[in-house]
Amino acid sequence: MKSKLTTYILLAVAAGIWGVVVWRLFFAKPGQDTTAAPPRSHKMADARAEDTLYLDYRDPFGMAPAVPSVPRETAKPLTKPAPTAPQKPDMSYKGLIIKDGVSHCLVEAGSQQYLLKLGDTCARCKLVKVFSDSIYVVFQKKTFTIRLSE
């Protein structure tokens, strides 16, 4: 079987681990402890003097009366600048031309005219939908409708 090799390897590893455990329990000498323990502090009286309670909570252990809280400074509320709404792009839709089954839009941006297909970009605006009376463009991650102008 294929799993016999894996079984024998795992048995050897388990026997090794148990051997170390038995060795540490029964055969280790009292002065041979190799585990590291954190140093102990005997300053309990000083530690209590350093602790303070804030916000007038009562002491959960009942050792000391409630101490008035330290007055906090009033925090100024954070004010974010008002987000500016993206302005409508300076474009005008002049007409629709259908050539070989593909719609082309005649668009005027600024003082230049463009012939755009679906997905084309001009003046940082991407054409996403085309209708006979209007087009949809994406400008600064917002969709705008531009109506046919004559």
Considering the entire predicted model, what is its pTM?
A: 0.44
pLDDT given for residue 90 in this prediction:
86
Contact status, residue 80 vs residue 89, Cβ threshold 8 Å: no
pLDDT given for residue 136 in this prediction:
93
pLDDT given for residue 86 in this prediction:
75
Checking DSSP bridges between strand 102-109 and strand 112-116, what pairing results, if any? antiparallel
pLDDT given for residue 67 in this prediction:
56
pLDDT given for residue 32 in this prediction:
63
Positions of the chain with pLDDT lower than 50, given as ranges: none
Contact status, residue 141 vs residue 132, Cβ threshold 8 Å: no
pLDDT digit string (tens) for 3-30? 889 999 999 999 999 999 988 888 777 6
pLDDT given for residue 52 in this prediction:
60
- Each domain of the chain, given as residue ranges in start order, spans 91-147
Side chain identity, residue 40: R
CATH architecture of 91-147: Roll (2.30)
Checking DSSP bridges between strand 112-116 and strand 121-122, what pairing results, if any? unpaired
Mapping DSSP to helix (H, G, I), strand (E, B) and coil, where does residue 98 land?
strand
Cβ-based burial of 135 (10 A; exposed 0-12, middle 13-18, buried ≥19): buried
